[in-house]
Structure formats: structure tokens, C-alpha cells
Amino acid sequence: MAAALKLLYTADLHGNEGFYRRLLGIAVKRKVNTIIIGGDLLPKTGDFTSLIEEQRQFLTGTLRPLLHAFRDSNPAVDVFLMMGNDDFSINMDLLEEMGSEGLCKLLHMRTHRLTEGLSIAGYSCVRPTPFSCKDWERYDDEQKILQPGPYKPVVSTLDGLIDIDEQEWFSSHPAMEEDLEQLARMSDPKKTLYVLHDPPYGTALDTLWNGQHIGSMAVRRFIEGHQPPLVLSGHIHESPKASGKITDRIGGTVCVNPGQTEAILQAVTVDIPGFKVKLL
């Protein structure tokens, strides 16, 4: 059985400095052991063509100093995080540097020990969206469904944003289903908490205002097949408001999406053992 632990989880902060400061303040006030940020860390507003540099500046000028000050004051609290589909992967080098300095621990396709009897692992990618950035988008499963959108598809490179052919891009990368099975082999699913940016399909956690479900079938199958104790997601900001729920269950797995708003930080605490979830 895992030792007692209190987690603080949120996602989709999108470079909101006030939300980051509030999150770190809550962590101190609630005396949590672990902070987890499940994707979409960085700004996505402004001129799209300059977003790579804007996100880079946020990492160096805002997030790194915040985490540095927090670590100095709270050295026993771990901060786990990963990029999401609105974060340009070309800036991963800065997160890697922050990780090497001990300011955070990166989750995408990695496993870490949380406590005796429990690990944590993560996956940043989502099924294809109608939006431009494709860095963290993959085919969901063998159905290879695309969502055509009004925005031209691009990926981030050292030379800036480049246009891509969607079919060629997705076909040249493993599908989410394949990646998630690799993640399962890297971990012990029965003893691992998974942070999966895309929520499972057909739940209270992937619901749009019109009632449509747009989550990942690959994530759902992963949960059905491996039955981890807890899955933390995000991505669909409005889902808790649309469905009225921040949690759902798939078999014995507790699934969570706290949602996010532009005005009020949405975050939850999770008490272990028991995986009791509370919206703040």
C-alpha cells in the first residue's frame, strides 16, 4: 500500500502567471507533498508567428524564477509537469535545464517514484485537433481520424514554425495507442498514477458544451486494459461545467479533469491512499 500523500493537481494554465502564483501558494497552505501540472503550461495568446519566442521568454523569465523561489522555500515538495498540445516542443530544452537544476521533474514518456508502492508517469499528446500546432498531436488509434480546421497545420523547429502535410506528419509518428502501450511497459500500471493530457473518451471529462465527447479512445482503452488507480487529465477546459463532474470512473480507475477557466484557477487535491479528490 502506498504511503500517505497529498497531491495538488491542475492543467491548462497557459502562461497565466497569477494562476501559477496561486497554485504555489495553495501548495504551501495545504501542505501538499507534490504538485502536478498536466500540460499546456505556456502562453498561447498574441501573434501566433512569435509564440515560440514568447513561450521561451515565459519559461526563462517567469516560470523558472517562480519554481526556483518555490524550491528554495519548499525543498521537500516535488513539482511534476509536462507540455501539452498548445506548447511548442522546440522549447523542451529549457524544461530539461530546469529539470537538471532540480526545479521540476518532467513527465512525458517518463516514470518517477512518488512514494513506496506508487509511481507517476505522463503523456502529453492528444488526438488531432482543428488547431494549428501539431507538435503534440498524434493519431488516436487505428481509426486515424483527423479534425479539419480553419488553421494551417504547423510544427515548431529551430528555424521557427514550418507548414506540414497532416497526413504525412501523423503517419510518420506512432499513434497514441502505441505510445501508451510503451508507457505501460515502462511502468507498473497497477501501481502508477498516470497524467494523460487528453481525457478518456465518452466520460464526464471530455464533454463539450453541446454534449459531444471529444476525448481519446486510446486513453480509454489504455485505462480499460490496465486499470491504473488514478488518471489525471485536462485539455477540455469546459468539461466539468458542461457535465457537472470533475471525476469519473472506468472500472476501478478514478479519472479526473478539474477543467480550467480564464478567471479562476481550477485545481484539485488528491489524498492517497484512497484517491479522494477535492476541488479547491
273 cis-preceded (ω within 30 degrees of 0): yes
Edge to edge, the sheet with strand 105-106 lists 105-106, 78-82, 34-38, 5-10, 268-272, 276-279
Identity of the residue numbered 26: I
Calculate helix-pair angle for 176-185, 217-226, nearest 10 degrees. Answer: 30
CATH number for the domain formed by residue range(s) 5-279: 3.60.21.10
The string of pLDDT tens digits covering residues 80-131 is 999 999 999 999 999 999 999 999 999 999 999 999 899 999 999 999 999 9
Mean pLDDT throughout 170-196?
Answer: 97
Alpha-helix residue ranges (DSSP H) falling in the chain: 17-30, 51-58, 64-73, 92-100, 166-171, 176-185, 217-226, 239-243
pLDDT at residue 215, rounded to an integer: 96
Considering only residues 270 and 45, tell me which one the structure prediction assigns the higher pLDDT.
270
DSSP 133: B
Total-model pTM: 0.97
Q: Give the C-alpha separation, 11 to 235, whole Å.
A: 8
pLDDT of residue 141: 82
pLDDT of residue 1 exceeding 60, the answer is: no
pLDDT given for residue 79 in this prediction: 98
Instruction: List, for residues 22-31, the tens digit of each pLDDT value.
Output: 999 999 999 9
User: Diameter of the chain by CA atoms?
Assistant: 49
17-30 helix and 64-73 helix, angle to the nearest 10 degrees: 10
Check whether 4 has a pLDDT greater than 70. Answer: yes
Q: Is the pLDDT of residue 48 over 90?
A: no
| Residues sharing a CB contact under 8 Å with residue 65, sequence separation 6 or more, in sequence order | none
Residue 63: which residues within 8 A CB-CB, separation 6 or more?
20, 41, 98
pLDDT over 90 at 39, yes or no: yes
**HSE toward the beta carbon, residue 105, CA cutoff 13 A:** 18
Q: Where are the domains of the chain?
A: 5-279
**Using one digit for the tens of pLDDT, what is the confidence trace for 143-165?**
787 877 788 999 999 999 999 99
